[in-house]
Structure formats: C-alpha cells, structure tokens
A and B are shown apart, each in its own frame.
Chain A
Amino acid sequence: EDQVTQSPEALRLQEGESSSLNCSYTVSGLRGLFWYRQDPGKGPEFLFTLYSAGEEKEKERLKATLTKKESFLHITAPKPEDSATYLCAVQVLSADGLTFGKGTHLIIQP
C-alpha cells in the first residue's frame, strides 16, 4: 500500500528562523511528488512537482528536494505569511489520484 508520512505534525518558528519539513514515502513506483500549501477554509495551492531523485525546485523562500525515500521542503527566513499547512502528495505509476500525507501545520511568529 502506498504511504506518505509527514513530520513534524506542527511546527512553530520565529520570523526569520529557517527550518525543514519532511515527507517520507513508500510507493510501488513513483510518477511524481507534489507539494501544496493549504490555508484555512481554502483548497490546496500547488507549489512544486518533483519527478526524480536529486531534483530540486525553488520558489521565493521555499526549496523542495527529493531522494528515493523522502522529500524535504526547506523554508529560509520565513515570514508570518508563510504560516499554513504544507501538504505532500505522491502519484504512482499505476494510478492517477494523489496519495496525501496529513500535512505539517506551520506557524511563523512575528
């Protein structure tokens, strides 16, 4: 069974304090790994797609990396507006639906 585990469940940082969120996955065959951001009352907002080990993507203060077993979302010098739940999802070769982790609830304090 395909599984996605995110850690930590919650993270509270001071503004400017860099950190990383982890997404570990066990799948039969990876087609792609996706990072989304979700704000309260909203739908997931697409951030990155990673397809192969060693790949990295970057956008503003966020950088996503991928290995054969896990992905990291690095947040550099975060701001309060980066507060949200960050979701990791995988798409496997044999299916089209995404398998999501439960997310990391990130709070950035000013």
Chain B
Amino acid sequence: NAGVMQNPRHLVRRRGQEARLRCSPMKGHSHVYWYRQLPEEGLKFMVYLQKENIIDESGMPKERFSAEFPKEGPSILRIQQVVRGDSAAYFCASSLGEGPQHFGDGTRLSIL
C-alpha cells in the first residue's frame, strides 16, 4: 500500500545552501503538487506538475525555487540559496488528475 513517499523527512541547511526535496507519487498517479505549510498558517499551493511538464507554478516564489518531474524518477523541489524564511514543512501530493489529492508526510526544512 505505497502512498506518496517524501524524503528526507527532516532536512537542515545553513543559509545560502541548496535544499532538494524529493517526492514519489502513489502508484499509477502522474499528477504531482507541492504545498508549503508555515507555522500558524494553512497549506499554500506552490506548483502542479505532470511528467516532464510544469502545468501551474502560480504559487511558486519567482526566485530561488524550482520544481521538476522527470520522465523517470521522483519529483524534485529545489530551493537555492536558502534563507531563514524558507523554514517550513513542504508537502507533496499526487492524484490521477480528477479526484482527490493524496499527501505524503512532508519534509520539514530547517534553516540555521
């Protein structure tokens, strides 16, 4: 019963380093979504991808953030030159397209 798998579960980076978060969708799902959850705030949509395509990146910060979902392998959310404000829980979800999105348990990113 493989659900959405995210790794690492916890990631610590120093300011200025790069963070790479990985997400393997549920079996059979080809639609991937990334969300960010800041302390005391709700989940915020960042980006929606299908295999090799970014469909909607309207919630992604314009600088330092990028996402990909290659033909083979997991989806990657990449944050370059991290700053303290990037500390958050990052969640990935997947779906069949229509129907509910199913979430992983997140990556908790801490910036020193």
Residues of A within 8 A of B (CB): 4, 34, 36, 41-46, 49, 87, 89, 95-103
- Report chain A residues within 8 Å CB of B104: 43
**Best-buried of A42, A49, A97 by chain B (most CB within 10 Å):** A97
Say yes or no: A100-B55 contact (C-beta < 8 A), given A44-B91, A49-B100: no
Q: Which of B68-102 contact A (CB under 8 A)?
A: 91, 93, 99-102
- Nearest chain B CB to A40 CB, angstrom units: 11
A43 adjacent to B101 (CB under 8 Å): no
The residue of chain A having its C-beta at the shortest distance from the C-beta of B105 within the complex is A43
- Report chain A residues within 8 Å CB of B45: 95, 97-99
The residue of chain A having its C-beta at the shortest distance from the C-beta of B56 within the complex is A96
A41 adjacent to B100 (CB under 8 Å): no
- Nearest chain B CB to A58 CB, angstrom units: 16
Expressed in whole angstroms, the Cα–Cα distance for A34 and B43 within the complex equals: 13
Bin chain B's interface residue count. Answer: 20 to 34
Residues of B within 8 A of A (CB): 4, 6, 31, 33, 35, 41-46, 48, 55-56, 58-59, 91, 93, 99-106
B101 adjacent to A98 (CB under 8 Å): yes
- Report chain B residues within 8 Å CB of A102: 41-42
- Report chain A residues within 8 Å CB of B101: 34, 46, 98
Partner of B4 from the list A34, A36, A43 (CB cut-off 8 Å) is A43
Contact sample, A vs B, 9 pairs, CB 8 Å cutoff? A4-B42, A41-B105, A42-B105, A42-B106, A43-B106, A95-B58, A97-B45, A97-B56, A100-B42
Can you name 9 extra interface pairs (CB under 8 A) apart from A34-B101, A43-B105?
Answer: A42-B106, A46-B101, A46-B102, A46-B103, A98-B101, A100-B35, A100-B44, A102-B42, A103-B42
Expressed in whole angstroms, the Cα–Cα distance for A14 and B41 within the complex equals: 27
The residue of chain A having its C-beta at the shortest distance from the C-beta of B47 within the complex is A97
- Report chain A residues within 8 Å CB of B106: 42-43
Expressed in whole angstroms, the Cα–Cα distance for A95 and B43 within the complex equals: 16
